[in-house]
Amino acid sequence: MKRLRLLSALLWAWTPASAAVLADARLSVPTMPVFAAPVAVPALGACALAPAFAAAPGLSGAASAAPVAATANGLVRAPDVDAGLAALRRASYPESEEVARLVAAIKEAHPELPISAQNLFLIRDPAMLAQLDIPESAAGAARIVTDGRREAPVVILVAAHGVALDAFVEFAVHEAVHLMDDGILRVGHDQLLKHFFAEGWTQMRAVTLANDALSALGRPLTPGHAYHKEIALVDVFSNRHGTSALDALVREGSDAGLRAALGARWDLAGRLASAPAAREKRLNALIALVNADAVGPEDERALLDYVGL
């Protein structure tokens, strides 16, 4: 039986056929499940498009009294949903014809995506981003504003330093897929193993959907700008176990299918996901674990050593 062959699996890392076209961006992604950008992207103004996307000057505390608060998952608490949405809008660039055009192209390509010019927020106020617990280095996040009675799903793009047109489409579609799935947004940010699988499965689908919209706009197709390791993880998982467990995870927040598929490896996978090593190393270890035919005590010890446990 094939063993882990850890040195080659971990040092060379797994590059599945479906991810072969993706550039190796070596991302440093925060542990919070937000879509992290690999590099600072230029403002749309650099593409001779609407200057409303340009990097924002410092705002004067627009979010200081904003009635919103981050939670342990994808919900954003507000005393009133409408007040929460208004606070997000004040901290964002105003709605514009250019945004409406891009969103219309996304909706034309995929009407099922829950995104509109009204639920999209290009947040430029660093104070609001801090209040939402979204790093300025992130590209965006899917959130659900709730007052305990109503819920309003929103797509947030981080615009404090500008957003390029093609990046806008990819990032907006990624977050809209999260909203469409819904379930993973209700899973705690600290459940890292679930989010590793969820981000890979979301991005694998989002790149295809985004390219449909980019094609309609006459723009170059995107190879995907993030989550390459997570895509590799779901690729090796789906090759062995199918995709139903991944669908249940993102749509219901349930890890039952993943647990059943990984069996005795589940607990080890959780330890690897939460280890002190860099995110890329943890994902390398998970890819090797999922892809192995057999895992013995020596293999387990080698994996734990690799991630610093």
Q: Is the pLDDT higher at 131 or at 23?
A: 131
Note the pLDDT of residue 60. 47
Note the pLDDT of residue 25. 26
* Domain assignment present for 205: no
Write the DSSP assignment of 116-129 as a string of letters: -TTTEEEE--HHHH
DSSP secondary structure letter of residue 60: S
Q: Are 22 and 63 contained in the same domain?
A: no
Question: Do 90 and 62 meet the contact criterion of CB atoms below 8 Å apart?
Answer: yes
pLDDT for 57-116, tens place per residue? 545 454 445 589 999 999 999 999 999 999 999 999 998 999 999 999 999 999 999 999
Mean pLDDT of 236-258: 98
Q: Are 17 and 137 contained in the same domain?
A: no
Mean pLDDT of 223-244: 96
pLDDT at residue 28 tops 90: no
Q: Are 92 and 172 contained in the same domain?
A: yes
**Beta bridge mates, 70:** 76
Mean pLDDT of 203-219: 96
pLDDT for 141-190, tens place per residue? 999 999 999 999 999 999 988 888 889 999 999 999 999 999 999 999 99
Helix (H, G, I), strand (E, B), or coil: what is residue 77? strand
Q: Are 178 and 42 contained in the same domain?
A: yes
Q: Is the pLDDT higher at 255 or at 56?
A: 255
* Domain assignment present for 69: yes
Q: Which helix (H) or strand (E) holds 153?
A: strand 151-158
Tell me the pLDDT band of 4, cut-offs 50, 70 and 90.
low
Least confident of 24-33, 194-203, 211-220: 24-33
* Domain assignment present for 206: no
Note the pLDDT of residue 50. 36
Final residue belonging to a domain, choices 138, 169, 189: 189
Q: Are 148 and 244 contained in the same domain?
A: no
- Segments forming the whole domain that contains residue 174: 35-189
d(CA 5, CA 10): 9
Mean pLDDT of 273-283: 97
Q: Are 158 and 133 contained in the same domain?
A: yes
The residue assigned the tokens 């094939």 is: 2
* Domain assignment present for 74: yes
Rounded alpha-carbon distances, angstroms, from residue 66 to 71, 89, 128, 170 = 15, 10, 8, 28
Note the pLDDT of residue 165. 83
pLDDT at residue 215 tops 80: yes
pLDDT at residue 35 tops 90: no
pLDDT at residue 15 tops 60: no
Q: Are 64 and 128 contained in the same domain?
A: yes
d(CA 258, CA 237): 9
How many domains, the chain?
Answer: 2
Q: Is the pLDDT higher at 51 or at 107?
A: 107
* Domain assignment present for 1: yes
Final residue belonging to a domain, choices 189, 206, 239: 189
Final residue belonging to a domain, choices 189, 209, 237: 189
pLDDT at residue 27 tops 60: no
Mean pLDDT of 197-204: 98
Q: Are 66 and 128 contained in the same domain?
A: yes
218: how many CB neighbours lie within 10 A of its CB? 7
* Domain assignment present for 199: no
How many separate helices (H) and strands (E) can be counted in the chain? 12, 6
Instruction: Tell me the average pLDDT of the chain.
Output: 84
Q: Are 116 and 1 contained in the same domain?
A: no
pLDDT at residue 242 tops 70: yes
Q: Are 66 and 111 contained in the same domain?
A: yes
* Domain assignment present for 194: no
d(CA 57, CA 209): 33
